[in-house]
A = this chain, B = another copy of it.
Amino acid sequence: MPDTLFDVVIIGGGPGGYVAAIRAAQLGMKPALVERDKLGGVCLNWGCIPSKSLLKNAQIFNTFKHAGDFGITFDNLGFDFAKVMKRSRTVSNRIVKGVEFLMKKNKITLFEGSAAFEQKGAVTVSVKGKKPSTVGGKKFLLATGASPRKLPGLEIDGDNMIDSSGALGLKKLPPTMVIVGGGAIGVEFAYFWNAFGCKVTILEMMPHLLPVEDEEIATILQKSLIKSGIKVVTGARVLGTEISSDNVIVSYDRGKGTETAVGDKCLVAVGVTGNTAGLGLERIGVDVEKGFIKTGEHYQTSNPDVHAIGDVIGPPLLAHVASHEAIYAIEGIHDPDHPGRIDYDSIPGCTYCQPQVASIGLTEKAARERGHELKIGRYPFRALGKAIAAGETEGMVKLIFDARYGELLGAHIVGSEATEQIAELGMAKALEATYKEILGTVHAHPTLAEAVMEAAGDAYGEAIHL
């Protein structure tokens, strides 16, 4: 017999799980939340939040480097790397405390420990050195997240070979770094370290950095990073690493025989796999496929009493996807008539280096592959008043419309505030806006957002400032 019985027992306290718990409480359900480490999960503790904190420091430091253009003078520019890193921990801790407050405010019962299914209708929550509790639930929601993928030859030792958590815990700035993987995480750390003077080499297997982004946009970013001093090697299959006392030698092949990149340390950022081990999923008939849990129309697993959301169910592996899936899953448990799944064609994705990259919907290539006839509009920030006034003229907005009805299929931005600008296009996409509606929406002058309006115009030969 379980010690207690809840309407829903949520396993994992990241941006999927804790949001699910709050939404359940709002709907009058009695939720329990099980977390084995810290509330907030990877996102708040070792991902999105601390990394964005570091990137802000880097952005400010880079602004200093050309502050003379703005008539600002100073001497002896320098930095205190320990303080830079410490700020990111302070930021994380403050936000984690905020989540703890929300749990109390919403009267959510928290179980600290590792959960495992050992009997029907309950999980056992174990904390080392304590008596386990048995937590009963009418329904269960798995939100256990994901962990960096382990690749042979790229084993993490936490010293020379680090993953993103290790990178967020560095006490000193390494003089040189090799980054394996040119996705968002790799690119963000490259920008951060390079800003403070570290020599960075990125090795990416695909033909361009940020392989999931539109090629034209990713290429603009890639050129910018190269110009800033980062070495970028694409089409590079990593063969293995050799660790000496001083450094790491990473060997790779890009069709020219074996080459090597050398760094004081090597960051491995090559994707993740779902956290499914140790949960006893096999005992309750929850199927796992290629490292992720399979889910159906309402995020139910192969066991109808067990739902799953977030990174553990596979891509897109993003905190905001987990949070929205959480709300949908809980609303679906609460009300079987609830529309099942979020719209996976309207998910924004962001990379927070400078210039930033953000996108929603289909890339040009994907839109062509789906057979759409396209109208594509582009607007470069170098032509835009606000961008010139702010001295931030890198990048462009690229909008992809279906030629027939002018429906927005995809939006891609590289530029200084791309990650904020994408919100307008998220709204446009969610409301199925056409080019005409985007073009006709009065955009404030002077703003970067005017580039969105001009790009919509450009797709149909109606851009004013081009």
Residues of A within 8 A of B (CB): 15, 19, 22-23, 26, 43-44, 48-50, 52-53, 56-57, 60-61, 63-64, 67, 69-88, 91, 94-95, 98, 102, 318-321, 323-324, 327, 342-343, 346-350, 358, 383, 385-386, 388-391, 417, 419-424, 426-428, 430-431, 433, 437-438, 440-450, 452, 461-462, 464-465
Contacts and interface: CB of A to CB of B under 8 A. Distances in A.
Contacts of A464: 19, 22-23, 102, 323, 327
A210 to B, nearest CB: 15
A440 to B, nearest CB: 7
A82 B70 CA distance: 10
A47 to B, nearest CB: 10
A342 B77 CA distance: 50
Contact of A64 (B53, B67, B327): B67
A342 B440 CA distance: 9
Contacts of A449: 420, 422-423, 426
B433 A389 contact: no
A102 B81 CA distance: 47
Copies of this chain present = 2
A302 to B, nearest CB: 26
Main secondary structure of the interface of A (DSSP, over half): helix
Contact of A420 (B69, B95, B417): B417
A350 B70 contact: no
Contacts of A424: 423-424, 426-427
Given A76-B74, A427-B433, A320 B443 contact: yes
A465 B100 CA distance: 11
A422 to B, nearest CB: 6
B56 A389 contact: yes
7 contacts: A53-B390, A56-B390, A56-B391, A74-B76, A420-B421, A422-B449, A427-B438
A431 B441 CA distance: 9
Contact of A346 (B349, B388, B442): B442
B49 A389 contact: yes
A57 B72 CA distance: 8
Contacts of A94: 388
A45 to B, nearest CB: 12
Nearest to A327: B464
A362 B462 CA distance: 30
A390 B318 CA distance: 20
Given A71-B87, A73-B77, A81-B71, A423 B443 contact: yes
A218 to B, nearest CB: 17
Nearest to A54: B389
A162 B343 CA distance: 55
A60 B63 contact: yes
A442 B48 contact: no
A17 to B, nearest CB: 12
Contacts of A69: 87
Contacts of A23: 464
A67 B65 CA distance: 13
Contacts of A321: 442
